[in-house]
């Protein structure tokens, strides 16, 4: 039991790692989906590169949100000042739990946003004047990623 009493810092690091890793993995998958659809469009009309790129950037924001929470968690733990305070298991679990919303939420919303943005690219291929509708549909999913970011940030800010 003594081991569990002294591993709070490691549990907190695991939470921070999951925040960035899961959110970035989701962004990679989401951006990949848009890239696949976009490459097909660009093979027919290379002039649509800027429009395709805008759509591909959208699911990448969740990875950035995960990185922000990772940075904030490590900053709160004293990592960047060189004085990491040992955390109890309860404190470590608190950090871990605070990092989960953006980790899990970022993973899921980035994949969903990538799929939505990929279909927006397909819409834009057939009807370029409708690009803004595809962007709006993908941005609706972004709202939920921002809520996950806010939840993680507010929980971390309570420590």
Task: Indicate the domain borders of the chain.
Answer: 7-157
At the second CATH level, the architecture of 7-157 is Up-down Bundle (1.20)
**pLDDT tens profile 118-149:** 999 999 999 999 999 999 999 999 999 999 99
* C-alpha to C-alpha distance for 65 and 41, rounded to whole angstroms: 29
- Whole-model pTM: value is 0.91
Do the beta carbons of residue 153 and residue 69 sit within 8 Å?
yes
Do the beta carbons of residue 85 and residue 3 sit within 8 Å?
no
Q: What is the pLDDT of residue 85?
A: 82
Q: What are phi and psi of 79, to 5 degrees?
A: -60, -45
Do the beta carbons of residue 148 and residue 109 sit within 8 Å?
yes
* C-alpha to C-alpha distance for 82 and 131, rounded to whole angstroms: 48
Asked whether the predicted pLDDT for residue 3 surpasses 70, the reply is no
């Amino acid at each position: 039991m003594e081991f569990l009493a002294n591993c709070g810092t490691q549990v907190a690091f695991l939470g921070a790692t999951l925040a960035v890793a899961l959110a970035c993995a989701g962004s990679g998958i989401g951006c990949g989906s848009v890239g696949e659809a976009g490459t097909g469009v660009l093979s027919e009309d290379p002039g649509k590169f800027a429009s395709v790129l805008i759509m591909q950037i959208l699911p990448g924001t969740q990875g950035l949100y995960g990185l922000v929470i990772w940075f904030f968690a490590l900053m709160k733990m004293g990592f960047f000042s060189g004085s990491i305070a040992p955390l109890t298991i309860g404190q470590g679990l608190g950090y871990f739990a605070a990092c989960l919303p953006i980790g899990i939420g970022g993973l899921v919303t980035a994949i969903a946003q990538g799929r939505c943005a990929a279909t927006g690219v397909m819409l834009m291929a057939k009807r370029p004047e409708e690009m803004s509708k595809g962007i709006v549909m993908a941005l609706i999913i972004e709202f939920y990623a921002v809520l996950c970011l806010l939840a993680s940030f507010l929980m971390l800010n309570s420590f």
